[in-house]
Structure 1
Amino acid sequence: MMMAVRYSKRRLLVTAVVAVVGLAAVVVLVRFFIGQTLADADRYGSPIGAVLAAVALLAAVVIGLLTPSAPDPAASTESDLAVQSPRGAEAAPAAQIRFGVIPGEARWFQPRPAESQALRQALADGDRVGLVALPGARGAGKTQLAAAHARQCAAEGYDLVAWINAQTIPDDGSEQAKGLLGPVSELARLGAELQLDTAERTPEQIAAAVIRMVGGNDGKRRLLVFDNVDDPDSITAYLPTTGIAKVLITTNRQEVNAMAGIVPVHVGMFTPQQGRAFLTRATNLPDTDDTRAVGQEVGWLALGLAQAAAAIALNKWSYADYLSRLAQVDVSQALQRLAGAQHPGVVAATDISLQTLKRHDTYGDAQRLLQVLSILAPEGISRALLTDPRAAAALEMDSKRLDQALAATSNLSLVTFAQTAQHDSRPDPIIVTVHRLTGKVVRYHAADNAQQQTNNPMTQATNMVEVLTDDLGEHQVALRRGDLDELVTHIYSLTTHIDPPTTDLLRIVNWAAERLSQAGDTSRSIAMHERNLADYERLLGPEHPDTLTSRNNLAESYWDAGRHGDAIAMHERNLADSERLLGPEHPDTLTSRNNLAASYWDAGRHGDAIAMHERNLADRERLFGPEHPYTRGSRNNLAESYRAAGRHGDAIAMHERNLADNEWLLGPEHPDTLLSRNNLAASYWDAGRHGDAIAAHERNLADRERLFGSQHRDTLTSRNNLAASYQAAGRHGDAIAMHERNLADRELLFGPEHPDTIISRNNLAASYQAAGRHSDAIAIHERNLADHERLLGPEHPDTLSSRINLVTSYRAAGRTGDAEHLSQSSA
């Protein structure tokens, strides 16, 4: 079956030379992405016993569900500067930063005085770092204990309280998501929240930077909670050893007891006295021998007690009623599948809950909701996303029925609500979560019924996430980064539960990878594309057209990450396979040739690139006609190659023809027409027709401001290009004003670490130098070079460009000694 996977857009990077006139008459090279492919975006674009406890919770779940009410009747954009530089020095966070989803207090929360006191004592020393682990069985209440301490620290005004989901292996035990989950990924997200330098850095580098900041000797009070650590080795490198930070670790792994510097505070089952007090308070029933019997049936496990209490209270049962129903459940099959369980009564309780849910959930809404939530990310889903009418429709409900199902599951303690700092800007910052054990049990039971369901939970969960991606396009990435990160976590989770992946899932994995690349998160983008390619090769074989598409997309991510050799090798393989399998004139083959030509050009193989673009244009004119969008795209690409090679007459002729065609076919205000005018302006400038170039750029900026608004991404690009032309024409004041405005807008809209913001900062440095403001220019270039060396290494092309720019700035300022020293050190 052919997939509807789109190739990511391939951009042709074009170099513009901006002359910087100074006392030393130095020329600073600044690369601009003024031209770009038009049409070749084409299509390519404790143990198992703990698990049983989880089952118990589910029992309570289904047992008391209330019957719900009846349903109601009824194209391409330009890029700016190719020399990108990450942000500067790491910045300390503002006071009272909260990160992650700190669980709210559980219903009928049972204090643990002994454990709480031991925890406080272990962290009491305010003059040194404190590391405390809370080891215990799943469902024993470790997370609630840590959350209570985290909430207390937040109330006391800690400068940072961060809740890190440290789970590295998904709940199904799959290794497929390796590298996509765990403390490194979470710490990298925290780094972005703290506004540290994240551009073009690996997650490991960002995580290390976070720990350095947390461990700083600045007197700030900070708390890190690593929740649900399933691999102690995964956090070893990310525990602060200096400063006064406090760290809590919740885990079911006992190895943490032997880790250097860590004080363990063991969290066991409730004592019988605590468990009976909990049941009495939660059910409002007197304490009897049956109270003890219920506690024994669920092994005094905190989670099992909570689920049993919810079922008893909502069904208005006595303890004896509940025990009677437990006795009637046949759990032999469950026990066989979950061998090694310590508390079979928990399994029985879960079965009762599911049976009760089925009896009372007339339309199946609450069951369906619970099953879908168990497949999504264990960190939970924003209530704002979950209650979106599109999400409700994907779950075959309207908003009213979804609210009723959510209330029913909440009343049974199957889902809980927590507030997250990541989405504080939303009107509704609430996160809906399902305990991992509950989710595991729900999935276990749902798997048995999947064959009988025409629209199973996996399909519904995929559909729900997909509809939520519909309006998060390329231009929304920077503005809705929080939504993007959350949707990506749900897509990760879907890939761990759905095997083999469906075509719909493969499509949204590709969407996530492309959006991450657009956000500058190349590490996660590559990880998702690599996973997608492996799935396509496994399911369809290495030569299937969809596999070729996936390989192209991975090559694009490799290129964006600076792995040019890997990118070219993949594009060469794709072109060879396409020519052999599809023929040399198939549209997909032509697209592969275009993408390889663009990579050759970027790598300096200009002759090879021009030859391929010339062949592509000839083939497309013959196959599709001279006015077809694909043909106009090839003509644009060849024109840009000619321009960069100094063949200005050929470039201008092609761009003028393309602009005339676009104005006639699409109208003078179509985005592709504006793009053609931009590229023609660049060719005019290179040919010395400066007045024509500035006039075209001024018209483009005015049109884009009127059509799209002053802060649209394309408008910012036009302003950048006009500023560059002003600068080259010696209108330094106008150029600086525009670059300063662009930088301010991009920092506001995209954040200080976004690639477009970094481009603006570099362009402003070039304008400062051209205007003789050497100190300002040098300060930015020094910052860029230091960041590039730390993040990308000394030999990366962007590092070399930063070094050249700084050498040039030193010489322009008369600092010849510094210039020579830097030049020699990099030789």
Structure 2
Amino acid sequence: MSSGNNAWAEGQGRVFQASGDQHIIEQHYYGANWTGPDTVRRPSVGRAPVVLRDRSGEMDRLRVGIEPGVGNCVYVLHGLGGCGKTAVAYALFQDATGQAGRIGLWVNASDSASLRAGMLAVAADRGASDGELMGARSGLRPAADLVWHYLDHSDQPWLLVLDNADDPTILRDGGWLRTSPTGTVVVTTRQAAAHWWPGAELLQFGVLPREEAALVLHDLAPHAGSVEDAAAVADRLGRLPLALTLAGGFLAHQVINPWTLADYGHQLGGNAGLDPIELIDQGAVAVGGDSRHLLSRTWQLSLDALATQGLPEAGRLLRLLSCWANDPLPLSTLSGAELGPELPDSHVESALRGLLDHSLSELVSREIRCLRTHGVLLDSVARTTPADQREQLAATASRLLLAALPEVPDRGAQEPHVNLLAPHVIALLRRAINWAVSQPTMEAAAECAHRIATAVHRSGDYTSALALSSEAVELVAPRLGKENVSVIRLRQRVGRALFRLGRFEESEALHREVLEICERTLGAEEPDTLETCLKLSAPLVNLNREADALSLIRRAVEGRIRLFGAEHPLTVLARTSLLAQSINPEDIAADSALVTECYRQFGENHPLTLRVELDYAYALRRSGNPTGSLPHIRAAFAGHVQRFGLDYPITLNARSTLTAVLTALGRHAEAIEHAEALVEGRTRVLGPEHPWTLRAQELLHQNRRAQSGT
């Protein structure tokens, strides 16, 4: 045969061409070609919980959906990755297939391929033929319609779990999520936005209560320590079920020199050079070990999904949030949170919405609107933040806090958002140190600490002010040095808080050391040096060393007059301190004009005016003129009560002076009334052992003795 052969084939057709005689044998083998999951009758989970802790309310609501005759129900379990949604679905699955007598069907819905294969396996389980399944797989018939046809016609009631459905578009676009009168559907997801789940009942999942979180650890590692030890570690882990499970699995599987829970908690602090997140992840072997069971990776799945959806800036915002703490953060703090082209101001709102929708953060209902992000998540994000982004993030976090904190807080109660920022300031200091940011950024963070410590101090909470300023000094001083102005100012705040708490000797010692540093590094006439002089005088007065105190006060007054002028508020503060220590009637008469100046310059209810009138009344009493003091102290006390309330520490000081004046005038009945209120107030505010509380008690006893004539 000399002519050519032309041929073609379509579809599965075949063409065989040959020249001459050929013997062709074609063999066809038909067999299983299944590419779906091995089973949909068993939950595909790493490690089932030993006992499902807490979640009793959620389980009660879900069990309604598996009661006899119940169908057409969809429950969506949503929350942060690792918060135990799958564990609850697993527990419900066991109840459904056990005592409820339902068929249980479990499908991995984390991606389109797994969902499709799993749902077709469900159809096969419910009776779909090989031909129908092949048609659905090849696209010759709608796959979702086939699955739901067989679910609707199931001869037994069922529970279908769609696990890890973090991308709802997969369910919606394929029509995979429906209802059926013969069964109930449970979806686990990180996607919290309600618009994805019309008609479904949404159940939000968060962290566990402290006692239940401790029991999770104790269930997994009962020999590692007591329940109290487990509770302490659970707090360090933020009571997140995944973190608890990983930690318990790690402790339970150690062979050589097993750790106790106390050992584990110590290591979580990073004190031995171990990265806490890496340490937690070591327990993943006990729970399956895939990326969903690694703290270092589980949240990246959500960020990857956000980037795919066109919101890469959500990851940038989360890195900014990682500069702060996991405590509630006032949403107003994020005003102006732009980070350049990666997070322009116009995209902050959409980035935040993305974090909320994917359960990476949550809104908290409080007096003011707040945002809260889990601490382990923040630490995990911070450790993977690229080094070249850290400086800008820390600088921006400092800038936002400085904008939210008052530069010069008033005395008295602060705005509600201010106290909420305290943990975020300390967290920022820690993050800035760990990230080794530049000195200007470190100083900006230290200024945040100074402002929050000042605000808390002026609210009257001296114990918290001492804790804040002391911790800030401990963090900042090794990095910036004791001679840095930011450290000097923080140490001044420590000294002030020590004084107010009655620890006069400690306050004196600290202020003397700070004064020596100021004189040596800043100069004798610098504002910070003069401020230290003035604050050192306060404990000296209470230690009965008034001559030394007066010398320091005069130095501060003269220096401030030269720097600022006689009527500057800082100068007035120094002048009124000098007035309070005056006992010479001529000096007091000369300084009486200061009261008039304050009324004219600041107004009668201004804190500085009230302070001057109080000190003037105090000086008149000490100089032996209680009659002249009485109208001024009554006015000062009434003004403090009106502006600050009865329990404010300076109001109590005013009541103390009023009591002393009444005592000096022999008006013991009224003096006793005020002395009793003074003892009660100072005991409540400062404690029963504070020197000023003891003085109030002695003043009360003095008046009672005088009234009884004994």
TM-score, normalized by length of structure 1? 0.48
Do 1:371 and 1:457's aligned partners in 2 also have CA atoms closer than 8 Å?
Answer: yes
Give 1:207's aligned residue. none
Alignment of 1:370-389 (within 5 A): 370-386=318-334, 388-389=335-336
Q: 1:518 to 1:451 in 2, by over 3 A?
A: same
Aligned to 1:755: 649
Matching residue of 2:99: none
What residue in structure 1 maps to residue 559 of structure 2?
Answer: 633
Secondary structure of 2:84's match? Answer: coil
Are 1:480 and 2:429 an aligned pair?
no
Instruction: State how far apart, in whole Å, the 2-side matches of 1:277 and 1:446 are.
Output: 39
Runs of 5+ consecutive residues of structure 2 not aligned to the other structure = 1-44, 49-54, 65-80, 97-103, 123-160, 178-186, 189-276, 437-441
2:84 matched to 1:140? yes
Question: Could you tell me how far apart the structure 2 residues matched to 1:522 and 1:141 are?
Answer: 43
Q: Are the aligned partners of 2:329 and 2:370 in contact in 1 as well (CA < 8 Å)? A: yes
Please tell me the residue identity of whatever aligns with 1:340. Answer: G
Question: Which residue, 418, 429, 432 being the options, matches 2:371?
Answer: 432
- Of 627, 632, 638, which residue of structure 2 is paired with 1:730? 627
SS in structure 2 of the partner of residue 432 of structure 1: strand
Q: Distance in 2 between matches of 1:676 and 1:590?
A: 10
Deviation at 1:486, TM superposition (A): 0.6
Structure-2 separation of matches of 1:800 and 1:603: 15
Aligned to 1:356: 305
Aligned partner letter, 1:555: G
Corresponding residue for 2:500? 560
Cα–Cα, structure 1 residues 583 and 559, in superposed 2: closer, same or farther, change >3 Å? same
Aligned-residue sequence identity (percent) comes to 20
> 2:168 aligns to what?
312
Q: State the match for 2:605 in structure 1.
A: 711
In the other structure, the counterpart of 2:314 is 366
Q: Distance in 2 between matches of 1:684 and 1:610?
A: 9
CA 742–531 in structure 1, closer or farther in 2 if over 3 Å, else same: same
Q: Any idea what SS the aligned residue of 2:451 has?
A: helix
Amino acid at match of 2:357: N
Please name the residue that 1:405 is paired with.
Answer: 351
Structure 1 residue runs of 5 or longer lacking an equivalent are 1-49, 54-105, 118-136, 143-265, 295-304, 324-333, 424-428, 618-629, 635-657, 818-827
Rg comparison, structure with higher value? 2
CA distance in structure 2 between the partners assigned to 1:788 and 1:267 by the alignment:
51
Aligned to 2:281: 338
Matches within 5 A, 1:462-541: 462-469=398-405, 471=406, 473-475=408-410, 478-500=412-434, 502-540=442-480
Contact 1:681-1:697 at 8 Å conserved across structures: no
Q: Retained in 1: the 8 A contact 2:647–2:685?
A: no
- For residues 578 and 524 of structure 2, what CA distance do their matches in structure 1 show? 29
Equivalent of residue 93 in structure 2, options 272, 279, 283: 272
Instruction: Indicate the SS of the match to 2:605.
Output: coil
Inter-CA distance 699–607: structure 2 relative to 1 (3 Å threshold): closer
* Aligned counterparts, 1:47-196, within 5 A: 111-113=58-60, 139-140=83-84
Alignment CA distance shift 1:111-1:764 (3 Å): same
The verdict on how the C-alpha distance between 1:605 and 1:464 changes in structure 2, with shifts beyond 3 A counting, is: same
Q: 1:280 to 1:765 in 2, by over 3 A?
A: farther
- CA shift in 2, pair 1:808/1:504, >3 Å: same
Equivalent residue pairs, number: 487
Structure 1 residue aligned with 2:596, among 699, 710, 727?
Answer: 699
Aligned CA-pair RMSD: 5.4
Structure 1 residues 268 and 784, CA, compared in 2 at 3 Å: closer, same or farther?
farther
Q: 2:569 pairs with 661, 671, 694, which one?
A: 671
Q: Which residue of 2 aligns with 1:605?
A: 545
CA contact (8 A) 2:108 2:163 kept: no
Q: What amino acid maps onto 1:381 in structure 2?
A: L
8 Å Cα contact 1:52/1:338 also seen in 2: no
1:111 partner letter: E
CA 1:416–1:529 in 2, change beyond 3 Å: closer, same or farther?
closer
Establish whether residue 448 from structure 1 lines up as the match of residue 384 from structure 2. Answer: yes
Question: In structure 1, what residue type is equivalent to 2:315?
Answer: Q
**Distance in structure 2 (CA, Å) of the matches to 1:733 and 1:483:** 39
Corresponding position of 1:816: 709
Alpha-carbon distance, 1:113 to partner: 0.5
**Structure showing greater relative contact order (alpha-carbon pairs closer than 8 Å, 6 or more residues apart):** 1
Task: Report the Cα offset of residue 451 of structure 1.
Answer: 1.7
Q: Alignment partner for residue 779 of structure 1, among 662, 668, 673?
A: 673
Structure 1: distance between partners of 2:667 and 2:89:
66
Query: Following the alignment from structure 1 to structure 2, what is the Cα–Cα distance between the partners of residues 713 and 417?
Result: 37
Cα shift at 1:711:
3.3
Cα gap change, 1:573 to 1:441, in 2 (>3 Å): closer
Shift of 1:488: 0.5
Q: For 2:516 and 2:486, locate their aligned partners in 1 and report how far apart those are by CA, in whole Å.
A: 15
In structure 2, C-alpha distance between the alignment counterparts of 1:802 and 1:395, rounded to whole Å:
61
Assess, with a 3 A threshold, how the Cα gap between structure 1 residues 442 and 779 changes in structure 2: closer, same or farther: closer
What secondary structure sits across from 2:283 in the alignment? coil
Partner of 1:44: none
Q: Residue 394 of structure 1 contacts residue 463 of structure 1 at CA under 8 Å; is this kept in 2?
A: no
Q: Does structure 1 retain, via aligned residues, the 8 Å contact 2:620–2:629?
A: yes
Q: CA shift at 1:806, angstroms?
A: 1.3
- SS of the counterpart of 2:365? strand
Deviates more, 1:514-523 or 1:772-781: 772-781
Determine the structure 2 residue equivalent to 1:102. none
Cα separation, 2, equivalents of 1:289 and 1:489: 48
CA contact (8 A) 2:626 2:664 kept: no
| Structure 2 counterpart SS, 1:111 | helix
Partner of 1:417, secondary structure, is strand
- In the other structure, the counterpart of 2:118 is 290
Query: What's the offset of the Cα at 1:798?
Result: 0.8
In the TM superposition, residue 317 of structure 1 has moved relative to its aligned partner by: 5.8
Deviation at 1:610, TM superposition (A): 5.5
Deviation digits for residues 777-802 of structure 1, max 9, x if unmatched?
A: 31331243355467756664213321
Q: How far apart are the structure 2 equivalents of 1:465 and 1:306?
A: 42
Distance 2:610 2:458 in 1: 16
Counterpart AA for 2:569: P
State the alpha-carbon separation in 2 of the partners of residues 718 and 769 from structure 1: 22
Q: Is the CA contact (8 Å cut-off) linking 1:514 and 1:525 kept in structure 2?
A: yes
Q: 1:478-520, CA deviations, whole angstroms, 9 ceiling, x for partnerless residues?
A: 3424222111121133244443473332332233223222222
Give TM-score, length-normalised by structure 2: 0.55
